[in-house]
Amino acid sequence: MRETPNCLAALRALASLPLPDAWITAGLVRNAVWDERHGFPFSLPEDIDVIYFDPSDPAGGREAEMESMLRTLAPGLPWSARNQARMHVRNDHAPYRSSTDAMAHWVETATAVGVRLDSHGSMEIAAPHGLGDLDALILRPGPAYRNRLEVFHARQARKRWLERWPMLRMVVDG
């Protein structure tokens, strides 16, 4: 991700904002890894998912402000900022305790990965299910969706990832 200008610009923009427990997640991370594994040039996702955890803003009122700030810091990138302190309602889960806890409840394990730069410019990674599935090109439902496989399968069909990255393997455990 450090070698891809759009990824590095996104990481630097996020690092400059006063967002608690903030990470760039999902598509930007996934595309960077899967494109590289396939020998494809990097493809920007439809949006750059920024998540953060701010219990003092349960309605998500700062999300649009954060997206605007990100667009100013890194123009031309498709930003999306979501406060994970409120997303449990949308997903019909118990309240999340942190951004990493929210990621642990996402549909796929390979998408539940976040990156950010620390105060020294080093990259930090949050991966509640590890990096194995992302690295091994495996699509697997996260634990919160193993009993809701219709959601997992519908999302795979809608995203068409298996067509876009033909070396991916879908694995649905027991």
Q: Give the pLDDT of residue 2.
A: 82
Q: Give the pLDDT of residue 115.
A: 98
Task: Assign 94 a pLDDT band (cuts: 50, 70, 90).
Answer: confident
Each domain of the chain, given as residue ranges in start order, spans 5-170
Q: Decide if 53 contacts 102 (C-beta within 8 A).
A: yes
Q: Decide if 121 contacts 77 (C-beta within 8 A).
A: no
pTM flag (> 0.85)? yes
> What is the rounded radius of gyration, in angstroms, for the C-alpha atoms of the chain?
16
The per-residue pLDDT for range 7-58, each reduced to its tens digit, is 999 999 999 998 999 999 999 999 999 999 999 999 999 999 999 999 999 8
Q: Give the pLDDT of residue 11.
A: 96
Is beta strand 123-126 parallel, antiparallel or unpaired with respect to 169-170?
unpaired
Query: In terms of Cα–Cα distance, which of 91, 119, 118, 120 is closest to 106?
Result: 91
- E strand or H helix that includes residue 5: helix 5-15
Q: How far apart are CA 51 and CA 57, in angstroms?
A: 13
Q: Decide if 168 contacts 34 (C-beta within 8 A).
A: yes
Q: Give the pLDDT of residue 169.
A: 97
Give the position of tokens 């193993």.
146
**If you classify domain 5-170 with CATH, what class do you get?**
alpha beta
pLDDT above 80: residue 89: no
Task: Assign 174 a pLDDT band (cuts: 50, 70, 90).
Answer: low
In sequence order, what DSSP letters do the residues of 77-138 get, joined into one string? S-EEEEEHHHHHHHHT-PPPSSHHHHHHTSSBTTT--EEEE-TTS-EEEE-TT-SHHHHTTE
